[in-house]
Amino acid sequence: MQRIIVGTAGHVDHGKTVLTKRLTGIDTDRLREEKERGISIELGFAPLTLPSGIKVGLVDVPGHERFIKNMLAGIAGIDLVLLVIAADEGVMPQTREHLDIINLLEVKKGIVVITKADLVDEEWLELVQQEVSEVLAGTVLENAPMMAVSAVTGQGISELLTIIDKLAQETPPKEISGRARIPIDRVFTITGFGTVITGTLWSGRLEVGETVEILPAGHSARIRTLQVHGEKVKQATAGQRVAVNLAGLETDDIARGDVLAEPGLLEPVFRLDVKLRILKHPDISLEQRARVRVHQGTREVLGRVNLLDREELRPGEECLCQLVLESPLMALRGDHYVIRSYSPMITIGGGIVIDPMPPKHKRYRTDVIENLEVMSHGDPKELISQVLADSKAGMMTIGEISKATGLAEQQVIEETSALANENKVTVIKGEGSVFYLWKEKDNLWLSNVIKRLDEYHKKYPLRPGIAKEELRSRDFPQILSKAFNRLLEAWESAGKIKVLGQAIAKEGFIINLSPEQDRAKGIIEKALLREPFSPPGWDEAADLAGLSEEEKVEMLGYLQQSGVVVKLSEEVILHQTAFDTAKEKIVSYLKENGKIQLSETRDILKTSRKYALPLIEYLDQIKVTKRKGDLRILL
């Protein structure tokens, strides 16, 4: 069954709470101070079932200007707004500010409710309605239905419910596949249950037993129980007011303004790329680096506005800018936000988040502006293309693309498939992971790797190739090893490189010894085989071949890699033939006698302890023998 959130807005003492009580039967003023002062300070919530069966969560927000940040916390994430204006007072300062906020948050469905209609005559009511129509002109509520009601006498209440029901039925359901997050508006403790948070589930679904993340701290917690309007449920879905009982956290670990989300969905950031629109009020403008209060979800942080293409944003203007924050926010692309001036605190503008994890931008950069314009206005395919082309990591999963673009995962899957069919995206699969890489970036990376391999093979002709980790850490530090291996496999399948264990070589590369190197190899082998079990040291054998110090290192590596020699220790190197013979003699002796001592190894090979000890220790390393006290046995 569809559930939506309806929020009230309007000036203090215009009857929002009384109207809520009349509609739902619940008094949302729950604090003693609210009772005493007769105004709402905190958010109030009440359930309402409409005639069609749609479940509504009604959010009653405070109207007093001192509690605008509480109003912002309540109005964020609503589907339909009731702009409440008292018939005996008409449009007041907070009416206008709340209307500005509704505009900035683009709450497109709403009803204008003229309350206290029983206190005025028809002529006065018509004047108020005319004034309201003039104020609404050019706003998102310009064409909204207008109702005159009295919560005291019941005048117009049934008609209001009918209109709420109609608009609720026209409201598209929220996205419930993944991406669950709740901006937290209350944190408290219930005896016997522990820590509870409340908020509106903006998207996705939550289930009892799931693990969630609390940001910005990054705490992990398990959902012990869920409640929707006081009823215990196993699952909560987008559009519901939810109370979440968390296991593993104390109330001190969470604060209002934090966000409960699926693990890995959000990241705390100190910069946001945004589209910013300033209200048309003639006395409001915004200078470069102005300090402001940023409201997003239920969170308020201080920050500065970095205007990317101008020095001042004037009334009614819109631009692209970067918000530089003093405390972290957790947002996704497409989220709405509102800014208020630092002092005095008045609403001055707002807009949408374009990039929730941007790099630091230099001002007046044409390429930066153009990229942000694409991200702001582009269709889904253009947006995904932009994100992939600009990605620092380069290789992205469907989940990462969804997170960066704000698009649903299913839509990302469809659009990336289309881009792959157009040969604009490379799809890299392996071990249950699928990565997407912008084709131009793929070609550039591969070109640079081939160039790097050409240089490496020229410098080290006796080596099989460059080490994987060396290449990754030098040229691709942003890619994790697992993903890098998938990329190498894709290039190898395309016939561009070859992977030899932990080394990477250019396709077609083989080691070819020069005549001088081949002669040196022969001299060294002859020297090692002259006394196979008591050979000369490496330096002595290499000196016979006339090798320099650098050539010695390269030749030894080549002979080891090609299976010509076995390095038992830093001092002892055997020819492979000698090693195989020695191993055969020792294994034969062990099969016959069951055990062997070091002295017996020395005698069998007619060598000295200098060679016998590293040989038997090497056989232990390669799991041929096993040490048992002073003896060796077959493993």
> Domain limits of the chain?
3-170, 181-261, 269-368, 378-512, 515-634
Which whole number is the average pLDDT over 138-160?
Answer: 91
Q: How far apart are CA 628 and CA 633, in angstroms?
A: 7
Q: Which of 105, 93, 32, 48 is nearest to 66 (CA)?
A: 93
> 160-182 burial, b if ≥16 CB within 10 A, otherwise e?
beebbbebbeebeebbbeebbbb
The least confident of 252-256, 361-365, 378-382, 500-504 is 378-382
pLDDT digits (tens, 9 = 90+) for 258-312: 999 999 889 999 999 999 999 887 678 899 999 999 999 889 999 999 999 999 9
Looking at CATH, the fold of the domain delimited by 515-634 is given as Arc Repressor Mutant, subunit A (1.10.10)
pLDDT digits (tens, 9 = 90+) for 443-452: 999 999 999 9
Q: Which of 312, 318, 271 is nearest to 290 (CA)?
A: 312
Phi, psi torsion values for 457, nearest 5 degrees: -65, -35
Which whole number is the average pLDDT over 525-547?
Answer: 94
Q: For the domain bounded by 181-261, which CATH number is listed?
A: 2.40.30.10
Q: Which of 413, 307, 300 is nearest to 369 (CA)?
A: 307
Residue 47 near residue 57 (C-beta atoms within 8 A): yes
Q: How far apart are CA 437 and CA 435, in angstroms?
A: 7
**What is the token pair recorded at 242?**
């939810």
- Higher pLDDT residue, 24 or 253? 253
Which whole number is the average pLDDT over 532-542?
Answer: 94
- Is the pLDDT confidence value at 68 over 70? no
User: Parallel, antiparallel, or unpaired for β 194-200 and 181-190?
Assistant: antiparallel
pLDDT digits (tens, 9 = 90+) for 75-106: 556 788 899 999 998 888 888 888 888 888 88
Which whole number is the average pLDDT over 561-575?
Answer: 93
Q: Which helix (H) or strand (E) holds 553?
A: helix 549-561
- pLDDT value of residue 66: 44
- pLDDT value of residue 178: 59
User: Parallel, antiparallel, or unpaired for β 241-247 and 194-200?
Assistant: antiparallel
**What is the token pair recorded at 429?**
């699969």
DSSP character at residue 42: S
Q: Which of 593, 595, 592, 584 is nearest to 533 (CA)?
A: 584
CA distances 323 to 72, 105, 213, 357, Å, are 19, 17, 25, 11
- Is the pLDDT confidence value at 69 over 70? no
Helix, strand or coil, per DSSP, at residue 50 = coil
Give the confidence band of 230 by pLDDT, cuts at 50, 70, 90.
Answer: confident
Give the confidence band of 549 by pLDDT, cuts at 50, 70, 90.
Answer: very high
- pLDDT value of residue 163: 93
- pLDDT value of residue 175: 64
Ramachandran area for residue 557 (φ above 0: left; ψ -120 to 50: alpha; else beta): alpha
Does the fold of domain 378-512 match that of domain 3-170? no
Give the confidence band of 432 by pLDDT, cuts at 50, 70, 90.
Answer: confident
- Is the pLDDT confidence value at 168 over 90? no
Q: Which amino acid is at 255?
A: A
Q: How far apart are CA 148 and CA 157, in angstroms?
A: 9
CA distances 367 to 247, 371, 535, Å, are 48, 6, 66
pTM exceeds 0.85: no
Burial category of 536 from C-beta neighbours within 10 Å (exposed 0-12, middle 13-18, buried 19 and up): middle
CA 379 to chain centre: 21
The answer for residues whose C-beta is within 8 angstroms of residue 444's C-beta and 6 or more apart is: none
CA distances 61 to 76, 229, 607, Å, are 11, 17, 92
Long-range contacts of 304-308 (CB under 8 A, 24+ apart): 305/276, 305/339, 306/361, 306/363, 307/363, 308/361, 308/363, 308/364, 308/365, 308/368, 308/369, 308/372
Residue 409 near residue 415 (C-beta atoms within 8 A): no
Give the confidence band of 67 by pLDDT, cuts at 50, 70, 90.
Answer: very low
The answer for residues whose C-beta is within 8 angstroms of residue 361's C-beta and 6 or more apart is: 273, 306, 308, 322, 368
- pLDDT value of residue 132: 92
Angle between helix 409-421 and 380-390 (nearest 10):
80
Q: Where are the beta strands (DSSP E) in 524-590?
A: 565-567, 573-575
- pLDDT value of residue 97: 83
- pLDDT value of residue 203: 83
- Is the pLDDT confidence value at 138 over 90? no
Burial category of 581 from C-beta neighbours within 10 Å (exposed 0-12, middle 13-18, buried 19 and up): middle
Q: Which amino acid is at 482?
A: K
Tally Cβ neighbours within 10 Å of residue 89: 16
**What is the token pair recorded at 16?**
């929002």
CA distances 374 to 377, 381, 384, Å, are 5, 11, 10
Helix, strand or coil, per DSSP, at residue 213 = strand
Alpha helices by DSSP H, 81-156: 93-104, 122-136
CATH 3.30.565.10 for the 3-170 domain, yes or no: no
User: Parallel, antiparallel, or unpaired for β 497-500 and 503-506?
Assistant: antiparallel
Give bridge partners of residue 63 from the DSSP assignment. none
**What is the token pair recorded at 78?**
């609503």
- Is the pLDDT confidence value at 472 over 60? yes
pLDDT digits (tens, 9 = 90+) for 16-48: 888 888 888 776 544 343 333 333 334 567 788
- pLDDT value of residue 503: 93
- pLDDT value of residue 344: 82
Pick the CATH number of 269-368 from 3.30.450.40, 3.40.50.170, 1.20.1530.20, 2.40.30.10: 2.40.30.10
Looking at CATH, the fold of the domain delimited by 378-512 is given as Arc Repressor Mutant, subunit A (1.10.10)
- Is the pLDDT confidence value at 396 over 80? yes
- Is the pLDDT confidence value at 535 over 70? yes
Give the confidence band of 616 by pLDDT, cuts at 50, 70, 90.
Answer: very high
- pLDDT value of residue 72: 57
Helix, strand or coil, per DSSP, at residue 265 = coil
| Termini Cα distance of the chain | 67
DSSP character at residue 441: H
- Higher pLDDT residue, 107 or 470? 470
